[in-house]
Amino acid sequence: MSTGLYGTYGGRYVPETLIPALEELDAGWREAKADDSFHSELHELLTNYAGRPTPLTLAERFAPGKRIYLKREDLLHTGAHKVNNALGQIVLARRLGKRRIVAETGAGQHGVATATVCARFGLECVVYMGEEDMRRQRPNVERMGLLGAEVRPVDFGTKTLKEATSEAIRDWITNVETTHYLIGSCVGPAPYPEIVGELQSVIGRETHEQVLAAARRLPEVVVACVGGGSNAIGMFHGFVDDADVRLVGVEAAGAASLGTGRAGVLHGSRSSILADEDGQIADAHSISAGLDYPGVGPEHAFLRDSGRAEYVGATDEEALAAFRGLARTEGIIPALEPSHALARAKELEAELIVVCLSGRGDKDLAEVLSQ
């Protein structure tokens, strides 16, 4: 009866307490998807609150001799693609009658997006964040506070996104009857990978239309960074049926769940994860808090195995160089996460490329300046 499978990946590896909530969520999601009023409410919010559609910008000076188009998710309200998912899930949570929201955050972008939509709809919001991430993403911690969310520090284990996610799930187990878990990436037990993937696929749909209008053809390659993988899956969904378009995901070299991982179970689903031979989860390492995660969405593991998408790595240094490069050549300060995608995009053997610029870099200034 395994549900929500991508090949052999995905599923529901969670304590029994959560199964009825996942079934309720799944039913609510299917109802919402079939309901025009859900789509019109979400469309109105994405347009007039979040600022969609986002532009597609040609980065002429960043990569001379190529046409690299940037999908400008950095221009969205709250500064990253995360708000697409947060808005969709908050509309869903309200339909389910939930009054309390819990979330995990790594870089803080998902936490800020969640705190924002909770403020907008007057819902209680608790965000779990690793102490190490709170240190390196201070401005986002302060933003969440201003927005009325309670940020709960997680002070054990790696003190990063992995532990924050575990604690958010433990909170959900405890308060499941009143609470919606607003997961930030295309990970977790079914139906979360599907929900987040579909809510983010607005990125790919818009890009497909925009690149055809701008370049009069489809790109040779689309590139996106991959931590949990939500901006990448959203972008890839727009091109997965176009067999001639290469899909390239870029992981942090020290957190390459797809590049160097193995099949395993983490946070409710089977995917490719960083784990040792006994199945114990390994530590990820990245300068970018948003990519510093030892798991990845199950659909990415499936796309890798099927050969439809390829996944490569970029080091901290390469990401930093791209971060500085884009700022100097285009007047755009990217987040460290998509800086990994920018680093690889520049050297691809292709002329027409789209990169998902998933967020802006204001949150990363202190970390970059300290390097």
- With contact defined as beta carbons under 8 Å apart, do 179 and 172 qualify? yes
Catalytic residue among 66, 71, 73, 82: 82
Between 2 and 37, whose beta carbon lies closer to another protein?
A: 2
Taking the complex as a whole, how short is the minimal distance between the CB of residue 16 and another protein, in angstroms?
Answer: 5
Give the footprint of another protein on this chain (CB under 8 A): 1-2, 11-21, 156-157, 162-163, 166, 169-170, 173-177, 262-268, 270, 275-281
List the one residue out of 300, 363, 371 whose CA is nearest residue 106.
363
Q: Annotated catalytic, 286?
A: no
Q: How far is the CB of 52 from another protein (least distance, A)?
A: 34
CB of 112 to another protein, least distance (A): 25
Q: What are the φ and ψ backbone dihedral angles of 345, each rounded to 5 degrees?
A: -60, -40
* 194: annotated active-site residue: no
CB of 281 to another protein, least distance (A): 5
CB of 284 to another protein, least distance (A): 12
Among 73, 104, 198, 299, the one annotated catalytic: 104
Q: Is 162 a catalytic residue?
A: no
Nearest Cα to 79, choosing from 57, 109, 49? 109
Smallest distance, Å, CB 170 to another protein? 5
Looking at beta carbons only, is 162 or 344 nearer to another protein? 162
List residues with catalytic annotation. 82, 104, 358
